[in-house]
Amino acid sequence: MNVRVAVVDNNDSFSHNLEGYLGEFADVTVGRFDEPPEADGYVFSPGPGKPDEFPIMYEILRDRDEPVLGVCLGHQAVAEFFGGSIGYADEVVHGKRSEIEHDRRGVFEGIESPTRVARYHSLVVDDVPEPVEVTARGADEVMGVRHTDRPVFGVQFHPESFLTDEGRRMVRNFVRIVEGHA
């Protein structure tokens, strides 16, 4: 039986790209939820605006212990929820391919470092305090984070974009984490 992953759609068309990748490995529900749905894991989608405009992400981080992967806006929500700060990027990027260095753990397991990823953002994570650690950097920005005690991850870039070399593997790695937690 497949694990169930809920994609929190933060009003972004990339949510359906995430659904496509996730659907290869898990049963997926996509929605703009009023309350956290039952699931074995959660993916917070990209989206416009700031993380606090989509409070369902904070509710899930506060009330649930299932694995979470935040993408772009979702990554910013993960960092902010655990005490990090968000700021404006030096350069607004839309569909830019960049190289990142990562720690080859968690969602990056089995992926060469450096690797190329797709960036679409105007906000960035400025800093992350414990219990969150930086797992990837590129273009002088935090590109990945992980909670040290919980299966919670964030990536600033878009693994669901065709411009990301190993995006499908990153999504598969997250589903494996969900499977190990279920």
At residue 12's C-alpha, the angle toward residues 128 and 127, to 5°, is 10
Above pLDDT 70, what percent of the chain?
Answer: 99
- Return the pLDDT at 1: 67
Catalytic residue among 66, 72, 102, 141: 72
Catalytic residue among 19, 66, 141, 160: 160
Instruction: Tell me the whole-structure pTM to 2 decimals.
Output: 0.96
Q: Which of 7-21, 106-120, 147-161, 165-179 has the lowest mean pLDDT?
A: 7-21
- Return the pLDDT at 27: 97
158 belongs to the catalytic site: yes
Residue 153, classed as helix, strand or coil, is: strand
75 belongs to the catalytic site: no
Of 92, 91, 90, 144, the C-alpha closest to 117 is 144
Of 56, 105, 106, the C-alpha closest to 77 is 56
- Return the pLDDT at 89: 84
- The structural domains of the chain, with segments of one domain joined by +, span 4-181
16 belongs to the catalytic site: no
Distance CA 173, CA 96 (A): 24
Q: Answer yes or no: is pLDDT of 93 > 90.
A: no
Distance between first and last Cα of the chain = 11
Q: Average model confidence (pLDDT) for the chain?
A: 94
Torsion of CA 108, 113, 114, 116, to 10 degrees: -40
β-sheet bridge partners, residue 98: 117
Confidence class of residue 95 from pLDDT cuts 50, 70 and 90? confident
The answer to whether 142 and 128 are in contact (CB under 8 A) is: yes
Q: How many CA atoms lie within 13 A of 1 on its CB side?
A: 5
* Residues in CB range of 53: below 8 A, 6 or more apart: none
Catalytic residue among 75, 121, 147, 158: 158
CATH for 4-181, options being 3.40.50.720, 1.10.10.10, 3.90.79.10, 3.40.50.880: 3.40.50.880
Q: Mean pLDDT across the stretch 89-107?
A: 90
Above pLDDT 90, what percent of the chain?
Answer: 83
Q: Answer yes or no: is pLDDT of 77 > 90.
A: yes
